[in-house]
Amino acid sequence: MLKKYEQFQLRDWQRSDIDALVKYADNRKIWLNLRDVFPHPYTRKDAEAWLGITGERYPGTHFAIVIDGEAAGGISLIPKSDVYHRTAEIGYWLGEPFWGRGIVTTAVKAVTEWGFSTFDLCRIEAGVFGHNMASMRVLEKAGYVREGVLRKSITKDGTTMDSVLYAKIREQES
């Protein structure tokens, strides 16, 4: 997926993104809102490992959010399997200097539209940490609907908390 927007570009991750990835991903505020698979501190070795698997394990579903020529964040769409094979999970993060500009909302809208047109999906969902109001607003602005609160469902940095489930359903179901 290569798509250009007013403030950013979405494209596949590239080996040349390593330095920018470390620069923006090594941020405790970002880590506190992501699953533990996203490491902190975020090192060059972590960036190399991530870029090594994006094309192998998840071909074509992980994109860099590029701002002013640098990969300043990421957005992924991961199709599920088994009885959930028509559902995908969307996840995203953005470097702190770019927060509050509407970039992630636009990226979520774009990747959601792309996901529905590329895969046989009827649903795209996102789980949000209960304290992450900014991410909830992003999803709501992108047309996602809050479906429920999963009480005490996640533990991050030693704190057990609620998560909130959001989803967008394909408008026309076949």
Q: Which residues contact 101 (CB under 8 A, 6 or more apart)?
A: 7
Sorting pLDDT into bands at 50, 70 and 90, what band is 81?
A: very high
Average pLDDT, the chain: 94
Class of domain 3-169: alpha beta
Instruction: Write out pLDDT tens, residues 114-159.
Output: 999 999 999 999 999 999 999 999 999 999 999 999 999 999 999 9
- State the CB neighbour count (10 A cutoff) for residue 100: 10
Domain boundaries, the chain: 3-169
Sorting pLDDT into bands at 50, 70 and 90, what band is 53?
A: confident
Q: Rounded distance, CA 172 to CA 174, Å? A: 6
Sorting pLDDT into bands at 50, 70 and 90, what band is 57?
A: low
- pLDDT(172) > 90: no
Instruction: Tell me whether strands 87-94 and 123-129 are parallel, antiparallel or unpaired.
Output: parallel
Tell which phi-psi region holds residue 143, choosing left (phi > 0), alpha (psi between -120 and 50) or beta: left
Q: Which residues contact 3 (CB under 8 A, 6 or more apart)?
A: 9, 10, 11, 110, 114
* pTM score: 0.93
In percent, how much of the chain has pLDDT > 70? Answer: 94
pLDDT at residue 108 in the model = 98
Sorting pLDDT into bands at 50, 70 and 90, what band is 54?
A: confident
